[in-house]
Amino acid sequence: EVPVPAWVLADLDPGAILAAKAPHVQRPPASVLKTLTTLALAQRMDPDAIYTTTYDDVAVEGSRVGLVEDATYSVRELFLCLMMQSGNDCASALAHANGGMELTVAQLAEEAPRRQDYDTVARNASGLPAEGQVSSAYDLALIAREGLARPDFFEYVNTRVSEDFPGYMPEQPGDPRS
């Protein structure tokens, strides 16, 4: 007996569902939506690209890693902290670095037919509550399975410590990180 309303236990390699409870019930995804953001954007973004944060990135609600406005971060650093700390500031920064939230949300849905995660509707990159934003335990298992097959995704979700993130922070907004 698992004391949650919905869950899926799947074999990673073949993807076979071993056990489940309410696998297709749509529920607000919260921060687990960040797995979809990581999967969708890691395929599209250069991990070595540098992004300069904006006020909108650092002023998001919810969990944050502490990005500093007008500071530079690599896309790889943003992915790491998106997964390690569930940073909504990192989700915002990645979406903006990718071309904006609207484009990013469209890309989150783009591959659903191939993956068959039909229960998921994303409205933002972080999983913060939004009207109509839902996912299911089944879809999250599909997303995780595809992601864990990618070396970059596997690194992002399995890194436990990042020695220099957020790194040596600038003393003034706009100054480079050293």
Identify the pLDDT of residue 162: 74
Average the pLDDT over 44-71 and give the result.
93
Q: What is the Cβ-side half-sphere exposure of residue 26, based on CA atoms within 13 angstroms?
A: 11
Identify the pLDDT of residue 34: 97
The helix, strand and coil proportions of the chain, stated in percent and rounded to the nearest 5, come to 40, 10, 50
Q: Which residue blocks in 59-100 are alpha helix, DSSP H?
A: 75-84, 88-97
Q: Is the pLDDT of residue 174 over 70?
A: no
The reported pTM is 0.90
Tokens of 51: 């992004």
Q: How far apart are CA 141 and CA 148, in angstroms?
A: 10
Encode pLDDT of 74-121 as tens digits: 999 999 999 998 999 999 999 999 999 999 999 999 989 999 999 999
Tell me the average pLDDT of the chain: 91
- Count the Cβ atoms, other than its own, within 10 Å of residue 43: 12
Identify the pLDDT of residue 1: 83
Best CA proximity match to 136, nearest among 40, 37, 20, 1: 20
What residues are annotated to the active site? 31, 34, 86
Q: How far apart are CA 96 and CA 124, in angstroms?
A: 11
CB within 8 A of 90, min separation 6: which ones? 65, 67, 78, 79, 81, 82
Place of tokens 């960040």: 34
Q: How far apart are CA 88 and CA 64, in angstroms?
A: 5
Identify the pLDDT of residue 51: 97
CB within 8 A of 11, min separation 6: which ones? 18
Average the pLDDT over 149-170 and give the result.
79
Encode pLDDT of 5-39 as tens digits: 999 999 999 999 999 999 999 999 999 999 999 99
Q: Between β-strands 72-74 and 50-52, what pairing exists: parallel, antiparallel or unpaired? A: antiparallel
